[in-house]
Amino acid sequence: MALYVYKFGGTSVGNVERIKAVAEKVKKAHDQGNQIVVVVSAMSGETNRLVELAKDMQKHPNDREMDVLLSTGEQVTVSLLSMALHELGCDACSYTGSQVKILTDSSHTKARIRNIDDARIRTHLNEGKVVVVAGFQGADEHGNITTLGRGGSDTTAVALAAALKADECHIYTDVDGVYTTDPRVEPKARRLDKITFEEMLEMASLGSKVLQIRSVEFAGKYNVALRVLSSFKEGKGTLITYEESQVESALVSGIAFNRDEAKLTITGVPDLPGVAFKILGPIADANIEIDMIIQNIADDATTDFTFTVHRNDYQRAKTLLDKTCSELGARNVTGDDSIVKVSIVGVGMRSHAGIASTMFKALADEGINIRMISTSEIKISVVVDEKYLELAVRALHAAFKLDQEIES
């Protein structure tokens, strides 16, 4: 008897017919003698609808109340899926995150899982039931409902798989695996049979929407066998693994991009010890995540400091930076929320030279100016103007021949 955790996203449970189709798939696996835990998201479009309702009530909705509101989306889905399973003669029970006792910290809208009490789930599994769990949510030590941030249902599924020591965790989405890049941007994108945890972690952090970054972190940390599959057609999907096969021939595995970038620059800052902390400290205190950072020293003992944040945090970050500018006696603050980040990722980059020059030449040949550059052992990221996003992705996909199968 194997134990599987299945996760179905919003499009997979977007209407009654699709929920019934999910129930059929789950029942088939359960009838084969497997223990099944199903994690579901809210129905497609429901979270956005709830967000709009909140904005009708309050210009900047209270985070605690937003968690209470948004958690209702998954509650609807778990109950409907459980009903569909019962209709098929498959015994099932549904749980919200707090009922399972998924304990999180108290960071509303961006909570992190601290512990999972799996006793209740194991009891029901041993009774032969399918357990249906609301993704994206939990509760803090005070009993407050919390949510895990966008894509948090992936994290719920992988965390449950780790806690239960599941044989596999299957993430069912509207795509049939992980591709070399988004096929909607580059039609020649190719599905990967395998990708390493390390590569997938970079892809997720750099903008790939297939999996949420924390779910990949969980999977890698607890060695959860993770597979991305389609809800709508059969196939083996993409296996995320520790194995680094074919790294000598696969220079780059994929291209990720993020449209949700914004850039802020504070100029004329006195070049003194601790200035970086004075600039970034208030940003961090506001729970705003910072991505790329560049600092340039001028001849007049001042420095220009540039960093990127999520586009949703742009205005808040700019307000804080304006205040810091005044306090430091800096020259001024400028910003740009019409930029994007494009990245190449591959474990093969460790053992090959010339990757950066190939990337920069491909962009230069298309007349694309690079605004910022960031590198790590297995990735190179560049910031470019938003209008060049699709051209940059297609140019890099061609330059690294990602449309071609790698020979064994």
pLDDT score for 245: 54
Query: Is the pLDDT assigned to residue 209 strictly greater than 80?
Result: no
Q: What are phi and psi of 90, to 5 degrees?
A: -110, 115
pLDDT score for 248: 45
DSSP state of 353: S
Query: Is the pLDDT assigned to residue 250 strictly greater than 70?
Result: no
pLDDT digits (tens, 9 = 90+) for 65-79: 999 999 999 999 999
pLDDT digits (tens, 9 = 90+) for 306-325: 999 999 999 999 999 999 99
Query: Is the pLDDT assigned to residue 359 strictly greater than 90?
Result: yes
pLDDT digits (tens, 9 = 90+) for 120-179: 999 999 999 999 999 999 999 999 999 999 889 999 999 999 999 999 999 998 888 999
**Cα atoms in the Cβ-side hemisphere of radius 13 Å centred on 309:** 22
* Separation between Cα atoms, residue 395 and residue 401, nearest integer Å: 10
* Separation between Cα atoms, residue 100 and residue 10, nearest integer Å: 21
Beta strands in 83-124 (DSSP E): 92-95, 102-104, 113-116
Give the model's confidence band at 185: pLDDT under 50 very low, under 70 low, under 90 confident, else very high. Answer: very high
* Separation between Cα atoms, residue 242 and residue 258, nearest integer Å: 25
pLDDT digits (tens, 9 = 90+) for 104-135: 999 999 999 999 999 999 999 999 999 999 99
- Taking residue 290's Cβ as centre, other Cβ atoms within 10 Å add up to 16
Are 292 and 299 in contact, with CB atoms under 8 Å apart?
no
Q: Give, in order, the Cα–Cα distances in Å from 15 to each of 45, 72, 92.
A: 10, 16, 20
Strand order from edge to edge, sheet including 290-297: 290-297, 302-310, 254-270, 332-345, 379-385, 372-376
Mean pLDDT over the full length of the chain: 92
Compare 2 and 212 and report the one with higher pLDDT: 2
Give the model's confidence band at 1: pLDDT under 50 very low, under 70 low, under 90 confident, else very high. Answer: confident
Are β-strands 372-376 and 290-297 bridged in parallel, bridged antiparallel, or unpaired? unpaired
Amino acid occupying residue 23: A
Q: Of all helices (H) and strands (E), which one includes residue 226?
A: strand 226-230
